[in-house]
Structure 1
Amino acid sequence: MPTATPTPTPTPTPQPAGEPTHTPTPTPTVTPTPTPTPLPAAGRILFSSDRDGNEEIYVMNSDGSNQTRLTFEPQRDRFPVWSPDGNEIAFTSRRDGGDSQIYLMGSDGTAPVRITNNASDDSNLDWSPDGNKLAFNRYNGSFSEVYAMNPDGTDQVQVTNTGDGSQPSWSPDNNRIAFMSNVGGRDHIDVINVDGSNHLQLTDGSLSNSAPSWSPDGTKIAYASIAEFGGTGEIYVMNSDGTNQVRLTNNPANDGEPVWSPDGSQIAFVSARDGNPEIYVMNADGSGQTRLTNNTAIDFDPDWGP
């Protein structure tokens, strides 16, 4: 019987250098990182709304919770602003007939008291940071100017003399007021000393710049701007001297009425991006834009207080 010859074991063919054999690794699925919702800053937000049939004053927490009606009048109540200590609210109303006048009430809506009484419309209020003055604009049917007065309505003094000053916002040092003015059919943001001196124009070139709001640290001014015909309003921020104008919002609907949180970390504003004007909040750099109110009515005139 012949002896079997063993079959030689084949020698493996070496892989070329630099080309190791790999076991394929599945490609991981990348989940987009959602834009974080901003943590609510401290304080409460006043606003106007016609959700109950006519314009009334409401208040809510800074996260949009606990929305509470403060005024109950058949006439328009608007432009609410907090006193710096949070104990009082100034607002305008037509409740006594005729033109819009300024009132004070407690932070819970109690004990309203009328503090102006004239034949002009008063609106767009702002309380000085030290609590000693209220700024507002007064429209006599032809011209609008910025005024300042004591919170009890005494010592009413005209600050601007442009024929079209409105929407005042106090600087944190109580010495200057930013406001909207108009030259050549274009609304722009100006600043002026409280005594009426040193009037400076900060913005130009856009069709409309409006609703200035001074940051709590005094370094920035937020405002709304429409840059071109047919365009929509967007929120911008700039240095308090008018430099470094930066756009914060960008959508096809109108955004406006920016106001800062007391700590300067966030901005509340009004937007119609979801079909009708609602109150939104975003971080001071424009990130984390979040809706706070959600109804079929108009919510506007925000003011963020303690």
Structure 2
Amino acid sequence: MKKVKTLISAILVFGFIASCKKSDSHKSITHPIAYSSNESGNREIYLTDTEGKSKIKITNYSGSDGYPEWSPNGKRIAFYAKYDKNKTWSIHTMNSDGTDRKRLTHAKNTWDASPTWSPDGKKIAFGRHYKNAEGIDQEEIWIMNADGSEQTRIEPLTGGSPCFMKDGRILFHSKSEDSEICIANSDGSNIITLTNNTAEDWWPKISPNGKQIAYSSDRDGNFEIYVMNTDGSNQKRLTFNTILDGDVSWSPDGNKIIFISDTEDYFDIYLVNKDGSGLKKIIDNGSQPSWFKAMR
């Protein structure tokens, strides 16, 4: 009889743990899109469902929070916060519910933004923008451990919006003024340039299967959303607007892309199929979206 009771207790405990895990997973699935918004008066980070109907505000900061990026396991979010009257931007991480907020970078009078997690979640790369002693803009890419230690500039790379690829290489746009979409090893070696024009090509993001890149370009006179293969071939324009479209993020299945579109007041977030069909607005007053993609 004692053995039976022990077995029943073990089953109940296991069932409770499984229920908790299912609940945590369910939460990440129902609110998989992180984004920033000034809906509350300050720029804060929110989570929402794929239709933009249910919103959860997970930060409460008197300054400005933005550029959220999910960790590979969905437990942490990297983002930036602004200090010193917006003169200093710093990279932070927090739990996906907004708890355990940690500041990782502290360089004054620099703009640290666009954090990206390595596939194993152990590293974070980010862009750093500042003016040097001569007043010339510097655009660098840095890498550090996920706890903020061992911060190192990737010396050969100039530009911004880094994005880790599945094989550990970094996708980024080169320094602005005729910027191009490029790929390099995480140490900055073997730089491959994928675009070649006199336009600005920005905000590249790799598809979940690693075969395509979505990005924004003003090559046709206005920033629009494009996709191409990872070797730079088959470049295709998806949007046709008279306002800026940018800041892309792929859906977990790689069939859809969300992006921001400029408006008179702020930005809105739209969704489009990767072939350019099915365009629709899903979030009013939102920018810098990141769609959680579960580890595969």
TM-score bucket (shorter structure): 0.7 to 0.9
Residues 1:304 and 1:263: Cα distance change in structure 2 (over 3 Å): same
In the other structure, the counterpart of 1:169 is: 163
Shift in CA distance, 241/136, structure 1 to aligned 2, threshold 3 Å: same
**Conservation of the 8 A alpha-carbon contact between 1:278 and 1:291:** yes
The Cα shift of 1:272 comes to 3.0
Mapping 1:29-40, distance limit 5 Å = none
Partner in structure 1 of residue 185 of structure 2: 193
> 2:66–2:81: 8 Å Cα contact kept in structure 1?
yes
Query: Which has more strand, going by share of residues?
Result: 2
User: Does 1:180 pair with 2:170?
Assistant: no
* Distance in 2 between residues matched to 1:46 and 1:76, nearest whole Å: 15
Structure 2 letter corresponding to 1:226:
D
TM-score (norm 1): 0.79
User: Which of the residues 232, 243, 248 maps onto 2:233?
Assistant: 243
How big is the alpha-carbon RMSD for the aligned residues of Structure 1 and Structure 2? 2.0
Structure 2 counterpart of 1:299, one-letter code = G
Aligned to 1:6: none
Q: Percent identity?
A: 39
AA at the equivalent of 2:178: R
| Contact residue 215 and residue 248 of structure 2 kept, 8 A | yes
Equivalent pairs counted in the alignment come to 258
**Deviation of residue 276 (structure 1)?**
4.7
TM-score, structure 2 normalization? 0.81
- Separation in 1, partners of 2:154, 2:184: 8
Larger mean Cα displacement after TM superposition, 46-55 or 207-216? 46-55
The correspondence for 1:151, drawn from 146, 149, 152, is 146
The alignment status of 1:232 with 2:222, answered yes or no, reads: yes
The structural deviation recorded for 1:234 is: 0.7
Partners of 2:45 and 2:240 lie apart in 1 by: 29
Residue type of the partner of 2:287?
F
Which of 250, 273, 276 is the equivalent residue of 1:260?
250
Aligned: 1:127 with 2:117:
yes
Relative to structure 1, is the Cα distance of residues 276 and 153 closer, same or farther in structure 2, using a 3 angstrom cutoff?
A: closer
Deviations 1:58-103 (A, max 9, x none): 1101121211211111101111111111111111112587611111
Residue 303 (1) aligns with residue 290 (2): yes
2:35 is matched with: 47
DSSP 3-state at the match of 1:159: strand
Give the superposition deviation at 1:50. 1.1
1:262-292, Cα deviation, whole Å (9 max, x unpaired)? 2212111111379752011111212111111
Unaligned runs of 5+ in 2: 1-28, 132-136
| Structure index of larger Rg | 1
Q: Which has the bigger relative contact order, CA under 8 A and spacing at least 6?
A: 1
Counterpart of 1:227, as a letter, is R
Pick the structure with more helix per residue: 2
Q: Which moved more, 1:275-284 or 1:206-215?
A: 275-284
Whether contact under 8 Å (1:73, 1:95) holds in the other structure is no
Of 80, 86, 89, the match for 2:74:
86
Deviation at 1:252, TM superposition (A): 2.0
Within 1, Cα distance between the matches of 2:123 and 2:248? 21
Within 1, Cα distance between the matches of 2:155 and 2:273?
A: 32
Aligned to 2:57: 69
Indicate if the aligned counterparts of 2:70 and 2:78 stay in contact, CA closer than 8 A.
yes
- Asked if 1:220 corresponds to 2:209, the answer is no
| SS of aligned partner of 1:195 | coil
The answer to whether the Cα contact below 8 Å between 1:43 and 1:304 also exists between their aligned partners in 2 is no
